Amino acid sequence: MFSDGKVSVNGRVAVLKDLGRAVKRAGAKTSTAITVVLPQGATQADMMKVTKLLRRAGYAKVLFTRPR
């Protein structure tokens, strides 16, 4: 996830609103746990938005990490 509202899925940049489609295009099954790397300064609201988009697309397992 980038701070400008775009995301990278397997190295391809997508608009946040198309996250579910991009994850499916990358070959993830709905039973796959999706790991989201948050940029510095990402808020709880950002995490909720990503979770909502992925759940709408059928992905129930969403994990968040921060860069080391």
**Which two three-digit tokens encode residue 42?**
């990402």
pTM of the model: 0.85
Task: Per-residue pLDDT tens, the chain, 68 aa: give them.
Answer: 666 778 889 889 999 999 999 999 999 999 999 999 888 888 899 999 999 999 999 999 999 998 87
> What residues contact 21, with CB distance under 8 A and at least 6 apart?
14, 57
Using CA atoms, how far residue 38 sits from 46, 62, in Å, is: 9, 12
Is residue 35 within 8 A of residue 63, CB to CB? The reply is yes
pLDDT at 3: 62
Beta pairing partners, 9: 12
Is residue 61 within 8 A of residue 30, CB to CB? The reply is no
pLDDT at 57: 96
